[in-house]
């Protein structure tokens, strides 16, 4: 008790979690972000990198080539130029089964663990020997003082082990294993406030247009109330460029980002791609309205590497008639002098997961 009292009065007595960096192993990149506490309630982005993965290193969220991924992670860490070797990683949401259950409160830790296991046995489709189980007490159960709501998360061991092995190959230590969608939502939390006009009570659709996949999730009162995933992303645009202008894929990928494509790129390639993305968004919203009690959203947040494509934000706003913003989880943070603000604005939408993972450094000890 006394120790607790002291700890709250004297910052330095409180056990600090060791510093860590956030690392997102996505379908096409390894992304790293380091955030530090700048004091006075302000965070500062210290450094970040986005390093491309060779094709087929990661497929459908599985690490197909641990050695190749390890090499890229090692290179990325070197480019970061940080001394921190502890990292927070995340599993793809599809690799994790989660379930909320109600259990008796006031239990000893061991008893709770035992109960979690027997609950898990009922809904996990494989043997418990093959899975890693984790649980978190969310708070008191809605209608009872004696019970608590518990979130159980389970993932196949090999999914976790593969990621940890990639980190080890790069000389890094995994100290936190999170879930991609949770990390992205932690980054979304950082965006709420006066500047973005987004509040918790609002209904917000977060649309992530990545390299391979477009994911739409709808948030309300800090709860995810809808999600949908489609195979559509920037790699398709790269392929379209390659086909239209007879370029190798690698060249098309560079040209897409640096500009300098022929004049008809806009109308003949980019515009039709944006149309596809917008169609997917309007479809997802339609499904959301018909499958829930809701009939509007207040905001659309576009994230992922394709968020800054020319004309996309405007097209989404115009077609959905909803307030639309491009994600920037760093908008309320200070930047170290090493970071170029303009480049960060372009990269920020693709760094949601890495940012959310980097924030795990500030977990209460």
Ligand X SMILES: Nc1ncnc2c1ncn2[C@@H]1O[C@H](COP(=O)(O)OP(=O)(O)OP(=O)(O)O)[C@@H](O)[C@H]1O
Q: How far is the CB of 211 from ligand X (least distance, A)?
A: 4
Site string for ligand X, 241-270 (x = CB under 6 A): ------------x--xx-------------
How many angstroms separate the CA atoms of 56 and 27, rounded?
8
CA-wise closest residue to 338 among 44, 30, 76? 44
Stretch that binds ligand X, among 69-77, 162-170, 208-216, 329-337 (CB under 6 A): 208-216
- Residue 110 falls in which region: left (phi positive, over 0), alpha (psi -120 to 50) or beta: alpha
Candidate residues 22, 70, 210, 349; the one interacting with Mg ion per rule CB under 5 A: 210
Among ligand X, Mg ion, none, residue 253 binds (CB under 5-8 Å by kind): ligand X
Stretch that binds ligand X, among 153-161, 244-252, 299-307, 313-321 (CB under 6 A): 299-307
Return the SS3 of 206: strand
Candidate residues 17, 82, 98, 212; the one interacting with ligand X per rule CB under 6 A: 212
How many angstroms separate the CA atoms of 288 and 302, rounded?
17
Q: Identify the H or E element spanning 320.
A: helix 312-320
Candidate residues 26, 204, 242, 274; the one interacting with ligand X per rule CB under 6 A: 26
Told to check if 344 binds ligand X by CB under 6 A, we report no
How many angstroms separate the CA atoms of 26 and 213, rounded?
11
Q: How far is the CB of 361 from ligand X (least distance, A)?
A: 21
61 by Cβ neighbours in 10 Å (0-12 / 13-18 / 19+) ranks as middle
Candidate residues 21, 28, 76, 284; the one interacting with ligand X per rule CB under 6 A: 28
- Please give the size of the binding site for Mg ion, defined by CB under 5 A: 2
Return the SS3 of 55: coil
Candidate residues 26, 181, 196, 214; the one interacting with Mg ion per rule CB under 5 A: 26
Measured CA to CA in angstroms, residue 43 lies from 37, 99, 319, 330, 353 at distances of 5, 32, 35, 9, 17
Q: How far is the CB of 250 from ligand X (least distance, A)?
A: 11
Told to check if 240 binds ligand X by CB under 6 A, we report no
Told to check if 211 binds ligand X by CB under 6 A, we report yes
Told to check if 340 binds ligand X by CB under 6 A, we report no
Among Mg ion, ligand X, none, residue 346 binds (CB under 5-8 Å by kind): ligand X
> How many Cβ atoms sit within 10 Å of the Cβ of residue 354?
31
Number of helices (H), then strands (E), belonging to the chain: the values are 12, 16
Quick check: 287 and 273 in contact, CB under 8 A?
Answer: no
Pick 120 or 357: Cβ nearer ligand X: 357
Q: Can you give the length of the chain in residues? A: 365
Stretch that binds ligand X, among 73-81, 132-140, 228-236, 322-330 (CB under 6 A): 228-236
Told to check if 329 binds ligand X by CB under 6 A, we report no
How many angstroms separate the CA atoms of 326 and 2, rounded?
47
Told to check if 356 binds ligand X by CB under 6 A, we report no
- Please give the size of the binding site for ligand X, defined by CB under 6 A: 22
- Residue numbers at the binding site for ligand X (CB under 6 A): 26-29, 210-213, 233-235, 238, 253, 256-257, 304-306, 308-309, 346, 350
Q: Under the rule (CB under 5 A), what is the footprint of Mg ion?
A: 26, 210
């Amino acid at each position: 008790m006394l120790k607790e009292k002291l700890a709250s009065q004297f910052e330095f007595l409180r056990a600090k979690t060791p510093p860590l960096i956030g690392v997102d192993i996505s379908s096409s990149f390894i992304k790293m972000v380091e955030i530090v506490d700048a004091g006075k309630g302000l965070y500062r982005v210290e450094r970040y990198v986005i390093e491309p993965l060779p094709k087929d290193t990661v497929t459908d969220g599985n690490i197909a080539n641990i050695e190749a991924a390890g090499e890229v992670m090692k290179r990325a860490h070197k480019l970061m130029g940080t001394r921190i070797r502890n990292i927070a990683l995340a599993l793809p949401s599809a690799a994790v089964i989660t379930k909320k259950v109600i259990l008796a409160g006031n239990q000893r830790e061991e008893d709770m663990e035992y109960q979690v296991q027997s609950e898990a046995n009922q809904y996990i489709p494989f043997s418990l020997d093959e899975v890693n189980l984790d649980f978190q007490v969310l708070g008191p159960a809605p209608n009872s003082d004696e019970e608590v709501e518990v979130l159980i998360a389970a993932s196949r061991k090999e999914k976790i082990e593969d990621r940890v092995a990639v980190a080890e190959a790069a000389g890094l230590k995994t100290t936190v294993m999170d879930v991609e969608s949770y990390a992205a939502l932690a980054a979304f939390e950082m965006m709420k406030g006066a500047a973005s006009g987004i509040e918790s009570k609002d209904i917000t659709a977060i649309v992530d247009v990545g390299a391979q996949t477009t994911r739409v999730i709808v948030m309300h009162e800090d709860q995810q109330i809808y999600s949908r995933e489609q195979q559509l992303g920037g790699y398709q645009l790269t392929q379209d460029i390659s086909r239209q202008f007879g370029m190798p894929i690698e060249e098309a990928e560079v040209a897409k980002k640096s500009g300098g494509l022929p004049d008809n790129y806009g109308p003949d390639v980019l515009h039709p791609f944006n149309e596809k993305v917008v169609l997917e968004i309007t479809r997802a919203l339609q499904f959301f309205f018909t499958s829930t009690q809701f009939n509007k959203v207040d905001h659309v947040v576009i994230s992922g590497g394709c968020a800054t494509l020319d004309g996309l934000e405007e097209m989404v706003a115009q077609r959905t008639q909803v307030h639309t913003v491009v994600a920037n989880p760093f908008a309320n943070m200070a930047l170290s002098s090493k970071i170029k603000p303009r480049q960060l604005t372009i990269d920020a939408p693709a760094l949601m997961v890495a940012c959310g993972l980097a924030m795990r450094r500030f977990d209460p000890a």
